[in-house]
Amino acid sequence: MKTIKLFIIGLLFFTAISTQAQVSVNVNIGTPNVNVNIGRPPVWGPVGYNDVDYYYLPDIEVYYDIRASQYIYFGNGNWVRTRQLPNRCRKYNLHNGYKVVLTDYHGNRPYSHFNSHKVKYYKGYKGKPQKNRGDYSEHRDYDNHDHDNHDHDHHDKHEGKKNNGKGKH
């Protein structure tokens, strides 16, 4: 009888240790890289919009999925999701470009409205002034995961121009 009790206690102890080890391993699997800002607005995003899912970047006709930290663009006949801007946009300055905040869309395919977005928010579109969440000089190599995608021209900064206020849309 004593042997059975010791066996059961040993089995329970072994099970507890195994469960703890599995939990520990599972917690560490898939931990995102520190530089990946998953689920939070990027530092180049406009201030005041914490609960939106997408931005539309009219100058380059690209969407940004905030929750997935992915750009969505049309290429080779399909809509593509990627963590980096397409090559054609590699010089685009995310900090200085205008971001249309899509407050009224929460699905998985913002590009389903691309035809109306393209007309309403044409290349060069500027709505109300926007202030970015972070300072360009502090984050220019961080948020695009590829510093070659940034245009390093600081002309607006040196001229003392600032974008204050919140964008709307």
pLDDT (tens digit, 9 = 90+) per residue, 90-133? 999 999 999 999 998 989 999 999 999 999 999 999 999 999 99
46 within a domain of the structure (yes/no): no
118 within a domain of the structure (yes/no): yes
* pLDDT(78) > 80: yes
- CA nearest to 115, candidates 56, 67, 64, 169: 56
- The total number of structural domains in the chain stands at 2
Domain span at residue 27 reads 1-31
pLDDT (tens digit, 9 = 90+) per residue, 154-169? 333 333 334 444 444 4
Is 146 in the same domain as 66? yes
Per the DSSP assignment, residues forming a β-bridge with 79 are 74
37 within a domain of the structure (yes/no): no
Query: What is each CA distance from 87 to 31, 35, 108, 125, in whole angstroms?
Result: 28, 21, 24, 22
